[in-house]
Amino acid sequence: MNKIPATVITGFLGAGKTTLLRHILTHAGARRLALIINEFGDVGIDGELVRGCNEEACGEDDIVELANGCICCTVADDFLPTMQRLLDRPEPPEHIIIETSGLALPKPLIKAFQWPAIRTRASVDGVIALVDADALAQGRFAHDEAALALARAADPTLDHDTPLEELFEDQLASADLVVLNKTDLVSNETLERLETELATQVRPGVRRLKARHGALDPAVLLGLCAAAEDDLDARRSHHDGADDHDHDDFDSFVLTGGPVASPEALLAALEPVIRAHDILRVKGTVAVAAKPARLVLQGVGPRLQHHFDRAWKPGEAVRTQLVVIGEKGLDESAIRQALTRVIAS
Ligand SMILES: Nc1nc2c(ncn2[C@@H]2O[C@H](COP(=O)(O)OP(=O)(O)OP(=O)(O)O)[C@@H](O)[C@H]2O)c(=O)[nH]1
């Protein structure tokens, strides 16, 4: 029996996974796809952003959202039943694409394809790791040598890098294909340096492609035939040997409120808060006073982007909903307080 190929898209928060997914969808033609979209925060934003991209390839029922934590921690409870339901359909999808949360470790997910109920019917076609060239160039995944030396002096048994660095390395080490995305944000010299660095972090023979806004032909992304579940041992992880792991290193919460006066007012309030609290990711939809359309807000580190994506639907709650993610210790109440002025409740 032919196995259904499944592509896993990994990459740190904001690297461009949903953007790549949207690009695949809009260029998928009539190939019947199913999407499993996983998010760290309690509120799913990404599913909402890919809906309607290509109804022919992927309708409402073909998009399954798994919010409430990282897929790597809820494999048995969420992912396996979801996969089984997709595979049991009278007309199963031709290809399944799984967008993991930016904080997910890919390996436990790949391992799930070894489960007997899945193994005979589906295979990991490839793990695609997206890298945010801008964030990498700014050293956002690298450890601070001096701080690490101090921490090790205080605790000589300390052998791990920062949580961000570990995750980044795990995601790269599990990849069959690496996409260095957001190349529009860095110079050619920087790009060259990043490519050289990346070459040392991936498994031998893994292809690296450059992209802007994930604009790559689906023909180079899908159909890698890697069967990643068969060579798990070659994909090293900082979490190998651990029976379990959690995401205690990261915090997230949802800000919900009424309309903002203008996109500019929201940005002016958000920018200093992101910097002061070292917020890693903000994303969501925003109601703007007197505007019939909803605003999509995207923040990756200090970089904020926004656009109106569609009119509010009749009966839809016109409100602002932002997911905020940061490292452990994020001061939720201070952040809420700083933003209550612009996001009225
Ligand atoms: N300048 C630039 N921005 C990009 C590019 N690709 C994606 N973005 C922007 O980066 C932001 C985050 O993109 P997403 O596709 O949502 O990233 P993600 O990896 O799905 O984010 P999470 O699911 O939260 O981890 C959005 O504002 C995108 O428009 C790119 O190549 N260049």
d(CA 274, CA 19) in angstroms, rounded, equals 22
If one residue of 9, 10, 12, 18 were mutated to test the ligand 1 pocket, choosing by the most ligand atoms within 8 A of its CB, it would be: 18
Residue where a domain terminates, one of 172, 203, 234 = 234
> Would 344 be classed as within a structural domain?
no
Looking at residue 220, which CATH number applies to its domain? 3.40.50.300
d(CA 167, CA 90) in angstroms, rounded, equals 38
Q: Whose CA is nearest to atom 32 of ligand 1?
A: 182
Q: Whose CA is nearest to atom 11 of ligand 1?
A: 14
Looking at residue 256, which CATH number applies to its domain? 3.30.1220.10
> Would 241 be classed as within a structural domain?
no
Q: 146 and 110 share a domain?
A: yes
Q: pLDDT tens digits, residue range 71-101?
A: 777 788 889 999 999 999 999 999 999 999 8
Q: 189 and 281 share a domain?
A: no
Q: Put residue 275 in one of left, alpha, beta given phi > 0 → left and psi -120 to 50 → alpha.
A: alpha
Q: What is the pLDDT of residue 294?
A: 95
Q: Is ligand 1 within 6 A of the CB of residue 24?
A: no
Provide the percentage of residues in the chain whose pLDDT is more than 70.
Answer: 91
Q: Is ligand 1 within 6 A of the CB of residue 23?
A: no
Q: 146 and 211 share a domain?
A: yes
- Cα angle vertex 224, ends 223, 227, to 5°? 110
Q: pLDDT tens digits, residue range 17-70?
A: 999 999 999 998 888 999 999 988 777 888 888 887 777 778 888 898 887 677
pLDDT at 157 over 60: no
Q: 206 and 112 share a domain?
A: yes
Q: 48 and 190 share a domain?
A: yes
Task: Give strand ranges (E) for the chain.
Answer: 4-11, 33-38, 63-66, 95-99, 122-132, 177-181, 207-210, 250-257, 281-286, 293-300, 303-311, 320-327
Q: 255 and 332 share a domain?
A: yes
d(CA 238, CA 151) in angstroms, rounded, equals 19
Q: Is ligand 1 within 6 A of the CB of residue 298?
A: yes
Domain extent for 269: 250-339
What ipTM goes with this model? 0.99
Residues in the chain: 345
- Would you say 31 and 95 are in contact if contact means Cβ atoms under 8 Å apart? yes
Tokens in use for 97? 């694409």
Q: pLDDT tens digits, residue range 245-285?
A: 556 788 999 999 999 999 999 999 999 999 999 999 999 99
Number of domains in the chain: 2
Q: 190 and 267 share a domain?
A: no
> Would 306 be classed as within a structural domain?
yes
pTM passes above 0.90: yes
Q: What is the pLDDT of residue 335?
A: 96
- Cα angle vertex 200, ends 166, 197, to 5°? 85
> Would 42 be classed as within a structural domain?
yes
Q: 56 and 171 share a domain?
A: yes
Q: 123 and 97 share a domain?
A: yes
Q: 333 and 296 share a domain?
A: yes
Worst-scoring range by mean pLDDT, 38-42, 64-68, 143-147, 191-195? Answer: 143-147
SS3 letters for 317-330?
CCCEEEEEEEECCC
> Would 242 be classed as within a structural domain?
no
